[in-house]
Structure formats: structure tokens, C-alpha cells
Structure 1
Amino acid sequence: MDVEILARIQFAFTIAFHYIYPPISIGLGLILVIMEALYLKTGDKRFELMTRFWLRIFALVFGIGVATGIIMEFEFGTNWATYSKYVGDIFGSALAAEGIFAFALESGFLGILLFGWNRVSSGVHFFATIMVFLGSLFSAIWIVVANSWQQTPAGFHIVGNGLEARAEITDFWAMVFNPSSVERLMHVWVGAILAGAFLVLSVNAWYIIKKKYLEIAIPAFKIALVVATVFSISQLFFGHKSADGVSRNQPAKLAALEGHYDSSARADMYLFGWVNNKTQETKGIKIPGGLSFLVHYDFNAPVKGLNAFKENERPTQVNSIFQFYHIMVALGVAMIALSLLACWYWRKGTLFDKKWLMYIFVWSVMMPQVANQCGWFAAEMGRQPWVVYGLLRTSDALSKAVSANQILFSLIMFTVVYTLLLALFLFLLHRKIQHGPETTHDEDDEANEAFTKRNNPLITHS
């Protein structure tokens, strides 16, 4: 393989592994705010115990997320030096803003959040919880802004020519609010919240199956279920808004997402299928004219297809983009269906009697993770062959000094290190889950006894 392919594989691998953790942090941050708010409002010790338990999980996720994110900054310089020079003024501003407004806020209050429970007042601790959550949201803002600028550049001009060319900001706020940043940010935020919510659902479903910590597991499950239901349904709206933005700003990507080639024909919306890029045919189960309706509100309106673009200015891996996009959509629908089904059983008072449903929730933790990964892969592969859409080709963004062997060696080493980090994360997460919630107050014997009961009748908590 050549340098470009290896460099792309290496960056895709490192960012995909890193992207496991920040979304969980955002989602857990919201749920921690809800749990602690309920504790302050009601004084119910169960909410205190569940908050403390999930704080320990949050700390683990946050730590691994920081460790896995550092390497990407080095890759910009080693493998993508031309890119770094070209977008340094833009990307550097966004990353600096993340450090000042987001990471400093998040890490500054993290110490109070983790170690200040018995050292500061309840109000101060709750304020710290909110600030850590807001810090995680702000961090996502600047990362999405930087990436969205690559998708839809705005607020800049080009200085220099050839290899010396670089983009400089002329309007900071136009750069921040570029044509795709807001709608993509909302889509990312909701996906992240779902990642945290389904982790909480998974762990507490396992406790319910094993009849452990039921006084804690059942109310925590209900909290996460409400969050999952609200945000999975809202993702329908934000996902549509994001796709609508793609239709306006990146029509070649939209055509690749649905395997649409003929600009003179209506565009079908596929539920699933297969794209043959050589014959330019897409086969599968489809809604005739479905994409035309979503774009133009007319089932027969033509939609710009891939044939409208030069071959060297449109994505080549169309089937992969198509599959990633449709996996994301299918999992989004599955999360809505699962959440609504659980709410229906909750209303009937039989939710926690459905052991088969609890088993589904145990494994449901993978759904938002896979959906988030597939969404990012579809977005990034759909932008090709551009690393900055319409301005800088991926093939021109590489470092000129790095060799294929150097990238391959570092990729192998990263794979080894990240595999060890994943094993460590899963081991520590498993140990914390097995250990379960616990109280640190000796005088709180009643609460301690309540959450350690093993055989409470589930029906009384439904």
C-alpha cells in the first residue's frame, strides 16, 4: 500500500478508537447531572449512591479518552504536514478555543466532581457536575467546528500559492458558524448522549437480571430510559437536518450515501442494498423516490447524481459509504423502537419482568457506539477526494518526507498499544461493575442494606 492509504488507515484507526470515549463522557455527564439533581431535590440516598457509582465510571472513561486523543495531534505533523500548514490558522484556532473554553473548564472542575463530595457543599458539588458536563459539550463544539470547516469552508481567504498556500481566517464567527457546523454539532451531541444513556441501561439491565442492587438499578434504568427515548426520537429531526445540509453543501456525498448516479432521475431511498460502482447500479429494498421527497418534498423530482461530477472529484468507495450510512440509520431506528417498547412495558407495569428485554438492553450498549462510528466514516469517506472540500485534495495533504514503511511500523505499534488500552479499560470497567454501588457512610446502614438486597420482588419496582 502507498503512503496515502496507510496514512488514512492510521488516522482512521486512531480517531475511531478515541471516539469510543468522548461520546460516553458527554452522555454520562448529562445523566450525572440528572441523578445529582434528583438527590438534591428529594434527599433520597439511592440517587446519591447511583451518582457516586457512575462518577467512578465517568472518571475511567475520561482518563482513557484523554490518553487516546493525544496521539492524533502528532499525526497531523508527521503524516499530514502539508494539511497542517494549509489549515493551521483555522484548525489551530478551533483547538486553542477547545483548550481555553472547554478542556480547562472540564478538567478544572473534575477534581471537585471526583474528590469533593465530602469536602464541599452539595450546591458547589452539583455546580461542578454541571460545569464538567458543559465542558464536555464545549469540547465537542470546537472539534465539530474544525471538522465542519473542512466539509464546508467559510470565513477565510487563501494566502500564497502552490505548496506555500494556506488558509487564513478573515471572519472568525463565519468560520465557527460555517454552513454545516450547527446541524452537525446537534447530530453529534445527540449521538453522544445516546452512547452514555445506553451504557447506563446496559449495566443496570445486567444488575436487574442478576437481581443485584435493585434499589439502585431500577431507578437508574428508568432515568437512562427517559433520556434514551427523548434523544433517540429527537435524532430523527437532527439527522434529517444534517442530511438536508449535505444535500445543499455536498451533493456528491449525498449521492454516494444513497448510491444515486443519474441526475435526470428521481432518487430512491434504500432501506438496505448493495452498490456496484463499476456498473453504477444500486440494488436493494427501497422506497421509490424517497430521497427526492426528503430533499425536494416531491417523489418525482430529480436529485443530482454522481455522474454530474468528474470522476476525480467524487468519492470512489461508494458502496462502503452507502453501507456505513445505512447501518447508522438502521441502528438509529432500532434505538427508537427499543426505547419505545421498554416505555410501553413500563407503562403496563411489567418492564422489569421481561428478562429477554433486559438481555437485549445489556447488549444494546453497542448500538450507539457502532452508529456513531459508522456516521463518522460515512461523513469522512463521503468527502473524498478532498480533505478540505473543494480546496485541498487528500493526496496533496500528505507529508513529503514520511515513507510507507514508517507509517506501517507506527500503525502496528499503535494497534498493539491501543489493544492493551482497550483491554485495560474493559478490565477496569468490568471490575467496577462487578463491585457495584457502595456507600461510604457507616451510619447509613439502612440505605446500604437496601441496595445490597438480592431477592426483592421486581414487580414492586415496576
Structure 2
Amino acid sequence: MDALDLARWQFAVTTVYHFLFVPITIGLSALVAVLQTAWVRTGKEHYLRATKFWGKLFLINFAMGVVTGIVQEFQFGMNWSEYSRFVGDVFGAPLAIEGLLAFFLESTFLGLWIFGWDRLPKKAHLASIWLASIGTILSAYFILAANSWMQHPVGYRINPATNRAELTDIVAVLTNSTTLVAFPHTIAAAFLTAGVLMLCVCGWHLMRGNEIGVFRPSLRLALWTIVISGAAVAISGDVMGRVMTEQQPMKMAAAEALYETSQPASFSLFSIGPLDGSAETFGLRVPHALSFLATADPNGKVEGINDIQREYEQRFGPGDYTPYVPATYWSFRLMIGLGMISVLLGVLGLWLTRRGRMPRGKLFWRAAVWSVSLPLLANSFGWIFTEMGRQPWTVFGVLKTSNSVSPTVGIGSVVTSLAVFTLLYGALAVVELFLLLRYAKAGPPELPVHDPDAESETEDRPLAFAY
């Protein structure tokens, strides 16, 4: 391996690791807000206990996401200085807005929520968690706008004097068509992830008969979240597939390992073979499915890798413009398959818990506990597909990955930092799992007899302590 390969590995490790925490933070913040809203509206104690329980798990995950996110941003200056120099004027704009607007909104109101128990009026305290949740969603939007510009660059020009990309239209960057389809898809996946995490913890406790009054409402909330967000993931993913085919046809062809242009094109569910277009030992296909996914027409034409390669050579010059097909092929299928299994489990759970019922035996509960890894892996494979399918470009059609790496960073430096980050992230993973398991197994907190949160609003006391 050379410095470029190692730098790519390092960025992949830090990005995939960071994104384990991001969807949980986005989804769980909103679910905590929903539970607290239910408590404010009904005054029922089990909603308050559920709010504090899930809120603690959310805060542990949020802290880990902040730490790993900061480290990720250092990568641009460390190993990808040529990329930062070339696109910093454009790429930095949405990231700056995210930091100055969305993250400050999120962190400020999250601080009020953490320290506002017993000090803020009920509705003001409730508003703080909703605003913190909105902040997490806004953060996702601006970061996705930056990433979408790499997939489909708009609103810029190349300055011939400095050979840098310069921002000309921030509105075009923020309303990029890629952003508009990637954002709902990512947010829906985040809610799916948070719902499955909630299902996992509820399953562990309900299998043991613990705190049924608290965990059954949480279970139903988790199941509905999984099913609704799963439907949103499927719909937005369908739209995203067509946008991707229009903007990056090579990525769609690589996702299918489709080397020759086909009309209609079938979708490969499973394949045994080298995936290099030479042969296929065994394949299971759905007729017309790829044509519909790519063009919305079951008889539509889908370009193959070979034709696109020739087109790109004429457009961009000599070179290999084909991504690593085995990675794109399998990551695309694992993303879809693992997500679908999560949704099917949610549908099954809703059926088994209808009209006050509870699943009999331990089979469903065990499946619920082990399902926590499904959406996390699906998210990871989704990002692997998105980023590797764009190769050999860092910014599609503008800047190649080979021209983005820092020219003065040698193999020794990258190996050292990669080893340090891997060990550090391994240690953080142990800490994260220890804290999550400890507090998840502990269950919801008991409320003191005179807990101000459980007392009436009509009690004759100063407003700041009335709740």
C-alpha cells in the first residue's frame, strides 16, 4: 500500500466509526422528545421515567458522536490537504453553517435540557429537547449538503489563476438535488436505527418481565418508528436510485456489476462469480427490477460499465473510471437486505403486540435483542457504497482522489496515525458499550416521593421550582 491507500483506509475507519453514533443521536433525541411530550400532556409517571431512561442513553451516545466527529474533521487537514486547498471555499461553507448554527443550537438547548430539570417550567424544558432534536437534524442537512456537493458539484467555478474551486451560489449548494434526496433517506435511516435500538433494550427487559409499565409503551413507540421510517427509507431510496443513475451512472452500473448495457435490466439478488464481467457461476435475478429502480420504467435502458468507461475516457481523458465492483455490489445488497430485515421485525412486533398482547416465549425477544446490529451495519454499508461507488473521484468529474491526498505526508506518518486512531477508537468502543450496557440493564430510574418533576403545577411555590 502507498500513502494514498492508507489515507483512504484511515478516513474510512474514522467515518464509519463516527456514523455508528450519528443516526442514534438523531433518532433517539426525537423519540425522547416524544416521550417527554406524552408525560407533559398526560402527567403519567411511566412516561417521565421512560424519558429519563432513554435520555441517559441518548446523552452517552451524543458525547461519543461529538468526540469522534471532531477527530474526523482533522482528517481533511492531515491527509487530504490538496483536497482542502482545492475545494475549501465551497466545501467549508455548509460545514461552517453547521458548526455556527446547527451545532450551537443543538448543544445550547441540550445543555438547558440536561440542567433544566427542576429549574425550568415544564413546557420550556420540553421545548429545549425539541430544539436540540431539530438542531441534530439541521446538522445532518448541512453535512449532507457538503457531501452531496462531492457527489454532484454545483454552484461553483474553477479560478484559473489559483486553480481552486470557488463558491458562486450557496443556495445552489444547499438545494442540490442530491441533498434533497439524500437528506430524507438519511434521516429515515436514523429513525430506523434508533427504533431498533429501543426495540433491543425493551426486548431485553420485557423478556425478563422488568418494568412492563415503562417498557411496553416504549416498545410500541419503537415498533411504529421502525415500520414508518422503514417505509420512508424504501420510498426515498427509490427516488435516490434514479437521481444517482442520472448523475453517476457508473455507480449504478457498479452496484449491479452490469458490464453491458441492458434493456430491460434485471436486478441481481445474489451472485456467485468474480464480478468482473467474465462469468457468473450462479445468479438469482428479478426481471425488469433494475430498469425500474434506475429509470422508473420496467423496460428502461441501463448503461453498462463498459459503455460508461468509454464515455468517461472521451469526457475526462484516459484512465480507469470503474470503482471496485465487488465492494459496490455487495455493500449495496447488504444495505438493502439488512434494512429490510429490521423493518420486517418491526412489522412482526406490531402484530404480536396488537390490542395489548405480548409475544409468547423468548424467540421474538431474542431476535429483538440481536437486531440492534442490523441497521448499524446497513448504515455502514450504505456509506461504503456511496463513497466507494464515486471512485476514482473525490469530487465527481472535478477532482480525483489521487490528486487530493497530502503530498508531504508519508507512509510512516499515515501508518502511525492509523494505528493510534484504531487503538483509540477501540478503547472508546469499550467505554461506550460498557456505559450503554450498564445503564440499559439498570432500567428506568425510580422517582423520589417528592420529586419536583412529579408534583403538581398548581402547588404554591416559585415558578422556577414548580415542576
Shorter-chain TM range is over 0.9
Corresponding residue SS for 1:212? coil
Cα distance, 1:70 vs structure 2: 1.1
For structure 2, the 5+ residue unaligned runs are 311-318, 455-467
Cα distance, 1:345 vs structure 2: 1.6
Cα distance, 1:54 vs structure 2: 1.1
Map of 1:186 onto structure 2: 184
Cα distance, 1:280 vs structure 2: 4.1
Cα distance, 1:274 vs structure 2: 4.2
In structure 2, give the amino acid aligned to 1:174.
A
- Which sits farther off after the overlay, 259-268 or 388-397? 259-268
- Which sits farther off after the overlay, 217-226 or 310-319? 310-319
In structure 2, give the amino acid aligned to 1:307.
N
Partners of 1:86 and 1:166 within 8 A in 2:
yes
Partners of 1:275 and 1:318 within 8 A in 2:
no
In structure 1, give the amino acid aligned to 2:152.
T
Cα distance, 1:140 vs structure 2: 0.3
Map of 2:440 onto structure 1: 433
Inter-CA distance 358–159: structure 2 relative to 1 (3 Å threshold): same
Cα distance, 1:336 vs structure 2: 2.0
Partners of 2:264 and 2:299 within 8 A in 1:
yes
Matches within 5 A, 1:188-227: 188-227=186-225
> What percentage of aligned pairs have identical amino acids?
35
Inter-CA distance 23–267: structure 2 relative to 1 (3 Å threshold): same
Cα distance, 1:33 vs structure 2: 1.4
Q: Distance in 1 between matches of 2:367 and 2:138?
A: 33
CA RMSD of aligned residues (A): 1.6
Q: Deviations over 1:362-395 (max 9, x none)?
A: 1111111011000000000000000000110000
Cα distance, 1:266 vs structure 2: 3.1
Cα distance, 1:228 vs structure 2: 1.1
Cα distance, 1:426 vs structure 2: 0.6
Q: Distance in 2 between matches of 1:364 and 1:264?
A: 37
Corresponding residue SS for 1:260? coil
Select 1:411's aligned residue among 412, 415, 418. Answer: 418
Partners of 1:315 and 1:381 within 8 A in 2:
no
- Which sits farther off after the overlay, 432-441 or 344-353? 344-353
- Which sits farther off after the overlay, 7-16 or 168-177? 168-177
Matches within 5 A, 1:50-89: 50-89=50-89
In structure 1, give the amino acid aligned to 2:283.
G
Map of 1:252 onto structure 2: 250
Q: Distance in 2 between matches of 1:271 and 1:85?
A: 42
Partners of 1:97 and 1:142 within 8 A in 2:
yes
Corresponding residue SS for 1:353? coil
Aligned length: 443
Map of 2:304 onto structure 1: 305
Select 2:370's aligned residue among 359, 363, 370. Answer: 363
Partners of 1:202 and 1:362 within 8 A in 2:
yes
Q: Distance in 2 between matches of 1:122 and 1:443?
A: 16
Map of 1:174 onto structure 2: 172
Corresponding residue SS for 2:389? helix
Cα distance, 1:351 vs structure 2: 3.2
- Which sits farther off after the overlay, 272-281 or 313-322? 272-281
Map of 1:450 onto structure 2: none
Partners of 2:309 and 2:322 within 8 A in 1:
no
Partners of 1:206 and 1:362 within 8 A in 2:
yes
For structure 1, the 5+ residue unaligned runs are 448-462
TM-score, normalization by structure 2: 0.92
Q: Distance in 1 between matches of 2:381 and 2:33?
A: 28
Q: Distance in 2 between matches of 1:144 and 1:334?
A: 26
Q: Distance in 2 between matches of 1:349 and 1:212?
A: 17
Q: Deviations over 1:343-375 (max 9, x none)?
A: 112226543324211111111111110110000
Partners of 2:223 and 2:347 within 8 A in 1:
no
Q: Distance in 2 between matches of 1:173 and 1:313?
A: 33
Map of 1:243 onto structure 2: 241
Q: Distance in 1 between matches of 2:24 and 2:441?
A: 19
Q: Distance in 2 between matches of 1:49 and 1:267?
A: 53
Q: Distance in 2 between matches of 1:143 and 1:428?
A: 28
Cα distance, 1:315 vs structure 2: 2.8
